[in-house]
Structure 1
Amino acid sequence: MRSYGLGRRQFLATAVGVAAAWTQASGNAIAAPQLKQASRDNSVRVWLTEVSADKWVADQDDVLFKAKRTANPLTIKIDDSVKYQKVQGFGAAMTDSSAWLIDKLSTAERTKLMKKLFDPSKGIGLSLLRSPMGATDFNASGNYSYNDMPAGQTDPTLSNFSVQHDVPYIIPALQQALSLNPSMKIMANPWSPPGWMKTSDSMIGGTLKSEYTSALANYFVKFIHAYGEAGVPISYISPQNEPMGTPTWPGMFLSAYQEAELIQEIGKAFEANGISTKILAWDHNWDVPSYPETIFSDPAASKYTAGTGWHIYSGKPNYQTVVHNDYPSKETFITEATGGVWQDSNQTAFSEALGTWIINGTRNWANGVMLWNIALDPDRGPLNSDTAGIPMLRGLLTIDPADGRVTYNVDYHALAHASRFVKPGARRIYSNTFGEGSIENVAFQNPDGSKVLIAHNSGSAAKTFSVADGTHSFDYTLNAGDAVTFTYSGPAQSGRTPAATKVSDPTHDFTFTSASSPVTVTYDPALLPYQNAIRTGNKLVTYSLPIGASVRTTGRALSRRKWTATASAQPDWGVAANAIDGDIDTRWSLGHGPTSGDWFQIDLGNPTSFNKIVIDTGVNNSFDYVTRYQIYVSNDGVDWGSAIASGSGGIGKIAVTLPTRTAQYIRVVSTAASGFWWAIGDIEVYGSARGTGSITAPAAVSNGLQLKTWTSKEGSQVTVVFNGTADSKSFKISTDGSYTYTLPSGTSAMFTTKKLSSFPSPTFSDLKPGQGMPRSKFTIRGSGFGDAQGLGTVYFGSSYAEIDTWLDTSISAYVPKGLPAGKVTVSVKGAGGAEAGGSSFDVIDLGPALPRTGWTAKASDASQWDAPGNMLDGNSDTRYSSGTGQYDGLWIQVDMGQTQTFDKIVLDVGGSVSDYARSADVYVSTDGTDWTKVTSVADGQRVHLISFPTQTARYIKIVNTGNVARSWWSVAEFNVYN
Structure 2
Amino acid sequence: MSSYGLGRRQFLATAVGVAAAWTQVSGNAVAAPQLTQAASRGNSVRVWLTDVSADEWVVSRSDVLFKARRTANPLTIKIDDSVRYQKVQGFGAAMTDSSAWLIDKLSTAERTELMKKLFDPAKGIGLSLLRSPMGATDFNASGNYSYNDMPAGQTDPKLSDFSIQHDVPYIIPALREALSLNPSIKIMANPWSPPGWMKTSDSMIGGTLKSEYTSALANYFVKFIQAYGEAGVPISYISPQNEPMGTPTWPGMFLSAYQESELIQEIGKAFEANGISTKILAWDHNWDVPSYPETIFSDPAASKYTAGTGWHIYSGDPNYQTLVHNDYPSKETYITEATGGVWQDSNQTAFSEALGTWIIKGTRNWANGVMLWNIALDPDRGPLNSDTAGIPMLRGLLTIDPADGRVSYNVDYHALAHASRFVKPGAHRIYSNTFGEGSIENVAFQNPDGSKVLIAYNSGSAAKTFSVADGTHSFDYTLNAGDAVTFTYSGPTRSGRTPAATKVSDPTHDFTFKSPSGPVTVTYDPALLPYQNAIRTGNKLVTYSLPVGASIQTTGGALSRGKWTATASAQPDWGVAANAIDGDISTRWSLGHGTTSGDWFQIDLGSPTSFNKIVFDTGVNNSFDYVTRYQIYVSNDGVDWGSAIASGSGGIGKVAVTLPTRTAQYIRIVSTAASGFWWAIGDIDVYGSSRGAGSITAPTAVSNGLQLKTWTSKEGEQVAVVFNGTAGSRSFKVSADGSYTYTLPSGTSAMFTTKKLSSFPTPVFSSLTPDQGMPRSKFTIRGSGFGDAQGLGTVYFGSSYAEIDSWSDTSISAYVPRGLPSGKVAVSVKGAGGVHAGGSSFDVMDLGPALSRTGWTAKASDASQWDAPGNMLDGNSDTRYSSGTGQYDGLWIQVDMGQTQTFSRIVLDVGGSVSDYARSADIHVSADGTDWTKVSSVTDGQRVHLVSFPTQTARYIKVVNTGNVARSWWSVAEFNVYD
Task: Report the counterpart of residue 369 of structure 1 in structure 2.
Answer: 370
**Cα 1:675–1:604 shift into 2, 3 Å:** same
Q: Report the alpha carbon displacement of residue 884 of structure 1 after superposing the two structures with TM.
A: 3.2
Q: Report the alpha carbon displacement of residue 499 of structure 1 after superposing the two structures with TM.
A: 1.1
Pick which of 450-459 and 852-861 moved more.
Answer: 852-861
CA offsets 1:633-672 (integer angstroms, 9 cap, x no match): 0001000000000000000100000111000000000000
Q: Is the 8 A contact 1:12 1:885 kept in 2?
A: no
Q: Report the alpha carbon displacement of residue 35 of structure 1 after superposing the two structures with TM.
A: 13
Q: Is the 8 A contact 1:871 1:880 kept in 2?
A: yes
Q: Report the alpha carbon displacement of residue 230 of structure 1 after superposing the two structures with TM.
A: 0.7
Pick which of 853-862 and 783-792 moved more.
Answer: 853-862
Q: Is the 8 A contact 1:333 1:367 kept in 2?
A: yes
Task: Report the counterpart of residue 461 of structure 2 in structure 1.
Answer: 460
Moved over 6 A (4+): 1-38
**Cα 1:692–1:576 shift into 2, 3 Å:** same
Distance 1:570 1:519 in 2: 46
CA offsets 1:606-628 (integer angstroms, 9 cap, x no match): 01000000001111100001110
Q: Is the 8 A contact 2:782 2:810 kept in 1?
A: yes
Q: Is the 8 A contact 1:178 1:184 kept in 2?
A: yes
Distance 2:934 2:14 in 1: 27
Pick which of 180-189 and 912-921 moved more.
Answer: 912-921
Q: Report the alpha carbon displacement of residue 27 of structure 1 after superposing the two structures with TM.
A: 9.0
Pick which of 467-476 and 931-940 moved more.
Answer: 931-940
**Cα 1:600–1:31 shift into 2, 3 Å:** farther
Q: Report the alpha carbon displacement of residue 184 of structure 1 after superposing the two structures with TM.
A: 0.4
Q: Is the 8 A contact 2:88 2:426 kept in 1?
A: yes
Q: Aligned to 1:24, what secondary structure does the other structure show?
A: helix
Task: Report the counterpart of residue 23 of structure 2 in structure 1.
Answer: 23
Q: Aligned to 1:22, what secondary structure does the other structure show?
A: helix
Pick which of 919-928 and 535-544 moved more.
Answer: 919-928
Q: Report the alpha carbon displacement of residue 260 of structure 1 after superposing the two structures with TM.
A: 0.3
CA offsets 1:586-619 (integer angstroms, 9 cap, x no match): 0000001111100000000001000000001111
**Cα 1:18–1:352 shift into 2, 3 Å:** farther
Q: Report the alpha carbon displacement of residue 264 of structure 1 after superposing the two structures with TM.
A: 0.3
**Cα 1:725–1:92 shift into 2, 3 Å:** same
Distance 1:19 1:42 in 2: 18
Q: Is the 8 A contact 1:32 1:123 kept in 2?
A: no
CA offsets 1:727-763 (integer angstroms, 9 cap, x no match): 0000000011000000000000000000111111111
Q: Is the 8 A contact 1:530 1:648 kept in 2?
A: yes
* 2:422 is aligned with 1:421: yes
CA offsets 1:325-366 (integer angstroms, 9 cap, x no match): 000000000000001111111111111000000000000000
Q: Report the alpha carbon displacement of residue 22 of structure 1 after superposing the two structures with TM.
A: 6.7
Q: Is the 8 A contact 2:513 2:520 kept in 1?
A: yes
**Cα 1:15–1:462 shift into 2, 3 Å:** same
* Greater RCO, CA 8 A, separation 6+: 1
Q: Aligned to 1:300, what secondary structure does the other structure show?
A: helix
Q: Is the 8 A contact 2:609 2:665 kept in 1?
A: yes
Q: Report the alpha carbon displacement of residue 15 of structure 1 after superposing the two structures with TM.
A: 35
Distance 1:630 1:5 in 2: 57
Q: Report the alpha carbon displacement of residue 240 of structure 1 after superposing the two structures with TM.
A: 0.3
**Cα 1:27–1:478 shift into 2, 3 Å:** closer
Q: Name stretches of at least 5 consecutive residues in structure 2 with no aligned partner.
A: none
Task: Report the counterpart of residue 913 of structure 2 in structure 1.
Answer: 912
**Cα 1:558–1:207 shift into 2, 3 Å:** same
CA offsets 1:101-156 (integer angstroms, 9 cap, x no match): 10111111111110100000000000000000000011111111111111111111
Q: Aligned to 1:597, what secondary structure does the other structure show?
A: coil
Distance 1:646 1:340 in 2: 36
Q: Aligned to 1:29, what secondary structure does the other structure show?
A: coil
CA offsets 1:225-277 (integer angstroms, 9 cap, x no match): 00001111000000000000001111100000000000000000000110000
Pick which of 889-898 and 758-767 moved more.
Answer: 889-898
Pick which of 62-71 and 766-775 moved more.
Answer: 62-71
Pick which of 353-362 and 864-873 moved more.
Answer: 864-873
Q: Report the alpha carbon displacement of residue 810 of structure 1 after superposing the two structures with TM.
A: 0.9
Q: How does 1:849-864 map to 2 (within 5 A)?
A: 849-864=850-865
Q: Report the alpha carbon displacement of residue 414 of structure 1 after superposing the two structures with TM.
A: 0.4
Distance 1:117 1:711 in 2: 46
Distance 2:976 2:851 in 1: 7
Q: Is the 8 A contact 1:4 1:11 kept in 2?
A: no
**Cα 1:716–1:148 shift into 2, 3 Å:** same
**Cα 1:4–1:575 shift into 2, 3 Å:** farther
Q: CA RMSD in A?
A: 6.3
Q: Report the alpha carbon displacement of residue 11 of structure 1 after superposing the two structures with TM.
A: 41
CA offsets 1:5-43 (integer angstroms, 9 cap, x no match): 999999999999999997799999999999999755211
Q: Is the 8 A contact 1:849 1:976 kept in 2?
A: yes
Task: Report the counterpart of residue 598 of structure 2 in structure 1.
Answer: 597
Q: Report the alpha carbon displacement of residue 170 of structure 1 after superposing the two structures with TM.
A: 0.5
Q: Report the alpha carbon displacement of residue 816 of structure 1 after superposing the two structures with TM.
A: 0.2
**Cα 1:11–1:62 shift into 2, 3 Å:** closer
Pick which of 845-854 and 510-519 moved more.
Answer: 845-854
Q: Is the 8 A contact 1:21 1:30 kept in 2?
A: no
Q: Report the alpha carbon displacement of residue 886 of structure 1 after superposing the two structures with TM.
A: 2.8
Q: Is the 8 A contact 2:765 2:783 kept in 1?
A: yes
Q: Name stretches of at least 5 consecutive residues in structure 1 with no aligned partner.
A: none
Distance 1:413 1:730 in 2: 49
Q: Is the 8 A contact 2:916 2:971 kept in 1?
A: yes
Q: Is the 8 A contact 1:5 1:313 kept in 2?
A: no
Distance 2:774 2:473 in 1: 60
Distance 2:685 2:11 in 1: 37
Q: Report the alpha carbon displacement of residue 921 of structure 1 after superposing the two structures with TM.
A: 1.9
Q: Report the alpha carbon displacement of residue 562 of structure 1 after superposing the two structures with TM.
A: 0.4
Distance 2:10 2:282 in 1: 23
Q: Report the alpha carbon displacement of residue 861 of structure 1 after superposing the two structures with TM.
A: 3.0
CA offsets 1:286-338 (integer angstroms, 9 cap, x no match): 00000000000000000000000000000000000000000000000000000
* 2:755 is aligned with 1:754: yes
How many equivalent residue pairs? 978
CA offsets 1:370-401 (integer angstroms, 9 cap, x no match): 00000011111111111111111100011111
Distance 1:306 1:32 in 2: 42
Query: % of aligned pairs identical?
Result: 92
Q: Report the alpha carbon displacement of residue 965 of structure 1 after superposing the two structures with TM.
A: 3.3
Q: Report the alpha carbon displacement of residue 892 of structure 1 after superposing the two structures with TM.
A: 2.1
CA offsets 1:922-955 (integer angstroms, 9 cap, x no match): 2211112222221222221111111111111111
Q: Report the alpha carbon displacement of residue 879 of structure 1 after superposing the two structures with TM.
A: 2.1
Q: Is the 8 A contact 1:334 1:361 kept in 2?
A: yes
Q: Report the alpha carbon displacement of residue 912 of structure 1 after superposing the two structures with TM.
A: 1.5
Task: Report the counterpart of residue 627 of structure 2 in structure 1.
Answer: 626
Q: Is the 8 A contact 2:924 2:932 kept in 1?
A: yes
Q: Report the alpha carbon displacement of residue 72 of structure 1 after superposing the two structures with TM.
A: 1.2
**Cα 1:578–1:25 shift into 2, 3 Å:** closer
**Cα 1:872–1:718 shift into 2, 3 Å:** same
Distance 1:544 1:357 in 2: 25
Q: Is the 8 A contact 1:40 1:489 kept in 2?
A: no
Q: Is the 8 A contact 1:334 1:370 kept in 2?
A: yes
Q: Is the 8 A contact 1:3 1:251 kept in 2?
A: no
Q: Is the 8 A contact 1:78 1:469 kept in 2?
A: yes
Q: Is the 8 A contact 2:30 2:59 kept in 1?
A: no
Distance 2:705 2:276 in 1: 34
CA offsets 1:447-487 (integer angstroms, 9 cap, x no match): 00000000111111111111111111111111111111000
Distance 2:163 2:360 in 1: 40
Distance 1:935 1:21 in 2: 56
CA offsets 1:475-513 (integer angstroms, 9 cap, x no match): 111111111100000111111111111111100000001
Q: Is the 8 A contact 2:706 2:725 kept in 1?
A: yes
TM-score, normalised to structure 1, is 0.96
Q: Is the 8 A contact 1:19 1:407 kept in 2?
A: no
Task: Report the counterpart of residue 36 of structure 1 in structure 2.
Answer: 36
Q: Report the alpha carbon displacement of residue 44 of structure 1 after superposing the two structures with TM.
A: 0.5
Distance 1:3 1:826 in 2: 67
Pick which of 31-40 and 714-723 moved more.
Answer: 31-40
**Cα 1:498–1:6 shift into 2, 3 Å:** closer
Pick which of 914-923 and 787-796 moved more.
Answer: 914-923
**Cα 1:26–1:86 shift into 2, 3 Å:** closer
Pick which of 949-958 and 805-814 moved more.
Answer: 949-958
**Cα 1:21–1:645 shift into 2, 3 Å:** farther
